[in-house]
Amino acid sequence: MFKIAVCVSGGGTNLQAIIDGVRQGVIPNTEIVRVISNNQNAYALERARLAGIDAVCISPRSYESRELFNEALLAAVDEAAPDLIVLAGFLVVLPPAMIRKYEHRIINIHPSLIPAFCGTGYYGLKVHEAALARGVKVTGATVHFVDEGTDTGPIIMQKAVAVRQGDTPELLQRRVMEEAEWIILPASIALMAEGRISVEDGQAKITDGER
Ligand code: GAR
């Protein structure tokens, strides 16, 4: 079994897409061994519990310093011994020690076509507000490996989504989730589970499968 830990901060619709993908076999031979949230009110935690998945909250508020929080977060991940860590709307800057320890074993979903509308300050609805303010006609989502920069790691998969006249940030966010995020995140995890992604010269390569 390929073991994944999923880190979340909010509603957890991407987590739900992963749970459903595992159940329906879109993500083969995979078990979600733990869901970790920095926010105890995240509905994502409830989704995990409803699916019978071990769910823990590691909140920065419970620790005296960032260092202690970082250590606790890494310990919660290590304890689950995952093959892959999936950031599914996790709005926390990862401890550098975690990024080094799990090199090419942490992936993130970002709600734009990187390198547009990404980096520090671009998360959640802010990404869609920026896309609408710039007037782009196409946006989308990206799954990428996590490195020590913000949204700078090797790109695994992207999917474009049309912007429509009259879109609000909320409408655009929902369309990007439905048409891109909930598809490419499970698909990327499936490729990882099948051992079909490698990183060469800083770029993610997908090798052909038997299917
Ligand atoms: C998703 O749109 C995800 O792409 C975004 O947060 C949302 C979480 O929604 N992530 C980022 O902006 C990371 N920079 P969810 O909790 O319903 O999956």
Residues 24-37 have pLDDT tens digits of 999 999 999 999 99
Structural domain containing residue 102: 2-196
For residue 155, give the 3-state DSSP assignment.
strand
Q: Is residue 88 part of a domain?
A: yes
49-103 pLDDT tens trace: 999 999 999 999 999 999 999 999 999 999 999 999 999 999 999 999 999 999 9
- By annotation, the residues acting in catalysis are 110
Q: How distant, in Å, are the alpha carbons of 47, 110, 194 from that of 41?
A: 12, 22, 34
Number of domains in the chain: 1
The closest residue, in CA terms, to atom 6 on ligand 1 is 89
pLDDT band at 149 (very low <50, low <70, confident <90, very high): very high
Q: Is the CB of 43 under 6 A from ligand 1?
A: no
Q: Is residue 202 part of a domain?
A: no
How far apart CA 72 and CA 65 sit, in angstroms, is 11
DSSP secondary structure letter of residue 178: I
How far apart CA 46 and CA 52 sit, in angstroms, is 10
Q: How distant, in Å, are the alpha carbons of 38, 108, 112, 179 from that of 30?
A: 24, 18, 27, 23
Is pTM beyond 0.85? Reply is yes
Q: Where are the alpha helices (DSSP H) in 31-168?
A: 43-50, 66-80, 96-101, 125-134
DSSP secondary structure letter of residue 163: -
Q: Is residue 204 part of a domain?
A: no
CATH number of the domain that residue 124 is part of: 3.40.50.170
Q: Is residue 209 part of a domain?
A: no
Cβ atoms 64, 36 nearer than 8 A: no
What's the CA-to-centroid distance between 137 and ligand 1, angstroms?
21
Q: Is residue 210 part of a domain?
A: no
How far apart CA 101 and CA 21 sit, in angstroms, is 27
The closest residue, in CA terms, to atom 16 on ligand 1 is 12
